[in-house]
Amino acid sequence: MQGTVATYDASTRSGVLLLDDGTELAFPARAFDASGLRLLRLGQRVRVERDETGEVTRVTLPTMA
């Protein structure tokens, strides 16, 4: 699944994504930390991984494996 960064707070390492269907999806710091990224920019495209409960587990760049 992919989306666009709508908000990102570098101090808490969490934010909100806007999915392609228009749904907002919050992601916690642990999902950002799992990505290995150093920062996100507003409007940046990202790939989202979720667990079976729907919680975001990882936010990465679409080009990352």
Please calculate the CA angle 18-23-28 and round it to the nearest 5 degrees: 60
Interval 14-22 mean pLDDT: 94
43-65, pLDDT tens digit by residue?
Answer: 999 999 999 998 999 999 988 65
The CA distance from 48 to 30, in Å, is 13
pLDDT at residue 64, rounded to an integer: 63
The answer to whether 15 touches 6, Cβ cutoff 8 Å, is: yes
pLDDT at residue 24, rounded to an integer: 96
